[in-house]
Amino acid sequence: LRRNPAEPEFHQAALEVFESLGPVLERHPEYAEAAVLARLCEPERQIIFRVPWVDDEGRVQINRAFRVEFNSALGPFKGGLRFHPSVNLGIVKFLGFEQVFKNSLTGLPIGGGKGGSDFDPRDRSDGEVMRFCQSFMTELYRHIGEYTDVPAGDIGVGGREIGYLFGQYKRITNRYESGVLTGKGVGWGGSLVRTEATGFGTVLFADEMLKTRGASMDGQRVVVSGSGNVATYAIQKAHQLGATVVACSDSSGYVVDESGIDVELLRQVKEVERLRIQVYAERRGGGATYVDGGPVWEVGATVALPCATQNELEPRDVKSLLDAGLVAVAEGANMPTTPEAVRMLQAADVLFGPGKAANAGGVATSALEMQQNASRDAWSEEFTEARLTDIMIGIHERCAATADQYGLPGDYVAGANIAGFVPVADAVLALGVV
């Protein structure tokens, strides 16, 4: 804590993992002897750089950007880029730390990292976003590569931004190195199902948790926070599995649509036209209402899927959700549930799937994109989605079995933390003091 002042989100993420590791360190004293925890808390490399660019009025703008290469014991650094005004070093470190364990949980050969900038792409023209991305990549390109560090999207970074970033990387390096970024368009090296993967995977994980209690997503009343990439495809998959998603949100407010959110309309409003969620209610007519402010959790649900941002589900939200009959929470976002809210959910015996397990489908499919790039192949939608489904079932099984093994049945937080930690710790030990 002394070494990293003013990084509360990073402290929160690290403490959450460490709280689970007591029993592991007892069984494996070699981890403590080799200072594995200290080595996992200190990123291998942290890059901070200036991004100068010119806006549409001809004014020079300066943003700050980061890439935190956290741990590469299991494979090249892998993790998204976030463009949002709230981005600072502590946020990127919390995300990078989480990413190390999440990537390990997928069972695929990827290390962990994260990056981003305090640039806000909302209300910026296409040209401004392109110039920012080009300037960002003009510095970042020297640090990344198929075998070193492979960024992807996150909040504020979708297919459009990845396209501009990849274009500039290709131009500077004169290499069509598809494996340097994931989340690419399907026509130029991207993988089918990558766009949908995080949201789909979150719902598949929720379904697996529910099955342990003889239930499923079928018939559930679901509330989702956010209306971006993860939220949209979580809604789609929830509907495919027979649930009804009655509400979703953005940072201004939320919509309630008791007949079920219309995913095509949502995509048109948020993904295609980049408008506010309020417009969804206006276009849907009498069927939906818009509520300014929030939180969306006051709508009430049996399954809650937080898919927007960190620390967005608080104790007061847990109270109202429990009153509405909540049975399961699966985190599509990273660390969206506050520590106190997690404790309340677990105390109330609500199934709780932490983000590092429940939202790992995105990075897992990114790793599948890397495999396709390396073999110059393109898999079918059916094959890729089947792989994603197998991976999510595997992650669920690993978390559940690990929790059982450590005498904590049903504790997916402990299961995910321990099952993610052990392979990284073993690799760190095997690679020596490097």
Q: Which residues are documented as binding site?
A: 78, 99, 102, 153, 198, 229, 366
CA distance 132 to 247: 34
The answer to whether 108 and 179 have CB atoms below 8 angstroms apart is: no
Residue 353 sits in the site that holds ligand NDP (CB under 6 A): no
- Separation of alpha carbons 44 and 28, rounded Å: 24
| Core vs surface per residue 151-174: b (16+ CB within 10 A) or e | bbbbbbbbbbbbbbbbebbbeeee
Work out which of 251, 268, 311, 389 binds ligand NDP, going by CB under 6 A: 251
CB of 174 to ligand NDP, least distance (A): 29
Half-sphere exposure of residue 108: CA atoms within 13 angstroms, side-chain side: 28
Apex 288 CA angle, 285 and 233, nearest 5: 110
Q: Which residue is nearest to ligand NDP (CB)?
A: 228
308 binds ligand NDP (CB under 6 A): yes
Binding residues for NAD(+): 198, 229
Q: Candidates 53-61, 138-146, 221-229, 342-350 — which segment interacts with ligand NDP by CB under 6 A?
A: 221-229
**CA distances for 67 relative to 45, 49, 278, angstroms:** 8, 9, 34
Amino acid at 319: K
The answer to whether residues 318 and 341 touch, using CB atoms and an 8 Å cutoff, is yes
Q: What residues numbered 75-114 form the site for ligand NDP, per CB under 6 A?
A: 84, 86
CB-nearer residue toward ligand NDP: 117 or 309:
309
- Judged by CB under 6 A, the residue of 337, 359, 372, 402 near ligand NDP is 359
Using the rule CB under 6 A, give the single segment among 125-133, 214-222, 227-235, 387-395 that binds ligand NDP. 227-235
Q: Which of 36, 74, 162, 230 binds ligand NDP (CB under 6 A)?
A: 230
Interface residue with ligand NDP, options 16, 250, 257, 385 (CB under 6 A) = 250
Nearest approach, Cβ of residue 322 and ligand NDP (Å): 22
Rule CB under 6 A: choose which of 117, 236, 309, 338 binds ligand NDP.
Answer: 309
Q: Does 178 bind ligand NDP (CB under 6 A)?
A: no
Name the catalytic one among 93, 114, 184, 270. 114
Q: Which of 229, 338, 372, 402 is close enough to bind ligand NDP by CB under 6 A? A: 229
Q: Are strands 112-117 and 221-225 parallel, antiparallel or unpaired?
A: unpaired
Q: How far is the CB of 22 from ligand NDP (least distance, A)?
A: 27
Total residues at interface with ligand NDP (CB under 6 A): 25
Q: What is the DSSP string of 150-172?
A: EEE-BTTB-HHHHHHHHHHHHHH
Q: How far apart are CA 366 and CA 369, in angstroms?
A: 5
The CB-of-404 to ligand NDP minimum distance in angstroms stands at 26
Q: One-letter amino acid identity for 97?
A: F
| Catalytic residue flag (residue 114) | yes
Greatest Cα pair distance in the chain? 64
Inter-residue contact 428 to 40 (CB < 8 Å): yes
How near is the Cβ of 91 to ligand NDP at its closest, in Å?
10
Q: Which residues, 132 to 171, sit near ligand NDP by CB under 6 A?
A: 153-156, 158
Neighbours of 268 (CB within 10 A): 15
227 binds ligand NDP (CB under 6 A): yes
Instruction: Give the torsion sign (CA, 127, 129, 133, 135).
Output: positive
Query: Coil, strand or helix: which one is 56?
Result: coil
Phi, psi of 433 (to 5 degrees): -85, 95
By beta-carbon proximity to ligand NDP, the closer residue of 24 and 360 is 360
- Specify the residue, 75 or 354, whose C-beta has the smaller distance to ligand NDP: 354
Catalytic residue set: 114
Under the rule (CB under 6 A), what is the footprint of ligand NDP? 84, 86, 153-156, 158, 198, 226-231, 250-252, 307-309, 332-334, 359, 362
